[in-house]
Chain A
Amino acid sequence: MHIAVVVKQVPDLVEELEVDAAGTGLDRAWVKMKLNEFDDHALEQAVLLKEAGGAQVSVVALDGEGIDQVLYAAVARGADRALKVDAGTQEPLDSRRAATALAGAIRDLGPDLVLTGVQAADDLFGQMAPFLAAELGWPHVSVVSQVEVAGAAVRVQQEYAGGRMATLEVDLPAVIGVQAAPQPPRYVPVSRLRQAMASGALETATAGAGAGTGGAAVTQLAKPEAGRGAEMLTGSPDQVAEKIEALLRERGLLRG
């Protein structure tokens, strides 16, 4: 079993996000990037499968600022190989162009299973997993919270609204959009990370030509319109607590 995990970085949403001068993109000068949390779960799921039944895990990413560190961290977490795909730009590609750019390298890598995050904070033009599946001509399931190997197939748990779930069986090769691994992504000790960096084993590949989304263009990126937001309660924690108590009392929402 050979599993490829496709990862990327996204802006850390806990930080302030600023829009660029053109008003259509992020001001990237100040954004703090981090591994997409759903990709993090995809990697964890791959490592769990490796531990459960033996598998080779390759982590794959488009080249870009800071990506080496992400790939080394994945190796430290248990990936056997790390592949950096050069799309001729350091700028982030939209998910559809990224899928086209990655498809060739993934086909050459020849995995049985591709795992990637179900979505990313910036995939305005659609989710990566189904696009990649379409490029490869492989079956696909997204919003998956568990993957198990079942012969030449995988059994996955797909989640729906209201807590409903279904178990589906998908023939390999397949692409799965991971929502959550059965356990939280593990912590990597710094010593392991140093070891991975010292081994320096990043492989490289060149991307296929990425077709654009075509037809749809961003005309504005902005903060949501203010005004319909919350009334803010200010003051010290004690003062705020007092205000909350008062408003709950007013509405008859205090206990008993």
Chain B
Amino acid sequence: MGNVLVYVENSETGVAPIAFELLGAARRLAAGLGGEVEALVAAGATAELAPALGAADVILRMEHPALSPYLPEAHVAALTEAIRSRDPQVVLVGNTSAGIDVAAGAAAATQRPLVAYCTGLAVDGEAVVAHSQVYGGKLVATTRTEGPGVFTVVAGAFPGAEGQSGGKAAEATLAAPATLGSLHTRFIAATAPSGGIDIGRADRLVSVGRGIGGPENLELAQELAAALGAELGASRPVVDSGWLPKARQVGKSGMTVKPKLYVAVGISGAPEHLEGMREAELILAVNSDANAPIFEVAHFGSTCDLFDLLPALTERLQAS
């Protein structure tokens, strides 16, 4: 009988949405394994976080001042402690920023295999079969894990609803490991989003990716955006290159948007980008590579060269 342990990511704003997606996935896995779902909530104070976790069978509460605000080192120690004391078969962690720190650190400390970027998880006999997005979403790897393992799960891969329901779970207190008293990492300050434009409020977005080539070509996208009455968004490399400000970045480490119309121009559709826009009502993708993963989530696509299509489209829209 194998239990499933869910690492519950949290911040001062409460339980992170990914935790509910993990709890939902955990319920199905636990049913297949004949085990229970345990949820680890590690924070400075857990009383206000625990009530949201009713989809678990057992809520493991671990409290220590070093656990809030989030410090990678502290949370690796917390999850490691929970794995050692509860010995679950499956550990689920979100493939978020914190998840990248925590899952690999705890997997290494407990000598368990780690399977990352999971979008599907199933039980087959005693083993866990996972589907993972690799190579920027261009390929899917299927893995089989016999025995204990740690899995990081891509945000948006599982519905959150199942993990949000549930009755009242049993609660247990886990002692915080002593190492939390002597950490080598300190929290200095938090920075809120940079302000200015909030692209999350726009109902139409034209987002540009590295395919735009350089800042000198942004005008093409700006003109299209103007013709559509849309705001300009961007993929991460466009922001990292300084072509557009950070506030316009869509994706895992940028904004999550859900506009009525999302036009992706020269964006490959890496999982980290899709995380921020897959819920858009109508997605239109322009990418000269017919195998680009953006076409998996887009409703309509074109493999036209963007330098040909954008001017043609802008002209047509201006005329109409």
Residues on B lying within 8 angstroms of A by beta carbon are: 11, 16, 69-73, 76, 96-98, 100-101, 103-105, 107-109, 111-117, 129, 132, 134-149, 152, 155, 183-194, 204, 227-229, 236-237, 240-242, 246-247, 249, 252-256, 260-261, 268, 282-285, 289-291, 293, 295-305, 308-309, 312-313, 315-317, 320
Contact = CB atoms under 8 A, between A and B. Distances in A.
User: Main SS of the interface on chain A?
Assistant: mixed
Contacts of A251: 282
Contacts of B320: 245, 249, 254
Contacts of B132: 124
Contact of A14 (B289, B297, B316): B289
Contact of A241 (B16, B100, B134, B312): B312
Interface string A165-180: 1111111001001011
Interface string A143-166: 100000000000101111111111
Task: In the A-B complex, list the 10 residue pairs whose CB atoms are closest, starting with the nearest.
Answer: A134-B108, A130-B104, A163-B193, A230-B301, A216-B113, A230-B298, A126-B114, A171-B184, A255-B229, A220-B142
Interface residues on A, range: 35 or more
Contacts of B111: 214
B100 A118 contact: yes
User: Main SS of the interface on chain B?
Assistant: mixed
Contacts of A58: none
Contacts of A129: 104
A240 B304 contact: yes
Contact of B114 (A96, A157, A218, A222): A96
Contacts of B186: 168-170
A231 B299 contact: yes
A245 to B, nearest CB: 5
A217 interface: yes
A125 B114 contact: yes
Contacts, number: 278
Q: Quick one: which of B72, B136, B285 has the most chain A CB within 10 A?
A: B72
B190 A165 contact: yes
Contact of B309 (A121, A123, A241, A247): A241
B253 A160 contact: yes
B75 to A, nearest CB: 11
A122 interface: yes
Nearest to B189: A167
Contact of B308 (A161, A225, A237): A237
B142 A241 contact: no
Contacts of A53: none
A238 interface: yes
B138 A17 contact: yes
Contacts of B291: 16, 223
Contacts of A170: 184-186
Contacts of A254: 228, 317, 320
26 contacts: A11-B135, A19-B139, A124-B134, A125-B115, A134-B109, A157-B191, A161-B97, A161-B155, A164-B191, A166-B187, A166-B188, A167-B188, A169-B185, A183-B242, A215-B112, A216-B144, A223-B138, A224-B138, A233-B300, A237-B309, A238-B312, A240-B313, A241-B313, A244-B284, A248-B228, A255-B229
Q: Quick one: which of B97, B108, B296 has the most chain A CB within 10 A?
A: B97
B246 A163 contact: yes
B295 to A, nearest CB: 4
A72 interface: no
Contact of A229 (B129, B194, B296): B296
B73 A233 contact: no
A218 B252 contact: no
Q: Quick one: which of B113, B255, B308 has the most chain A CB within 10 A?
A: B113
Contact of A167 (B152, B191, B289): B191
Contact of B141 (A14, A183, A218): A218
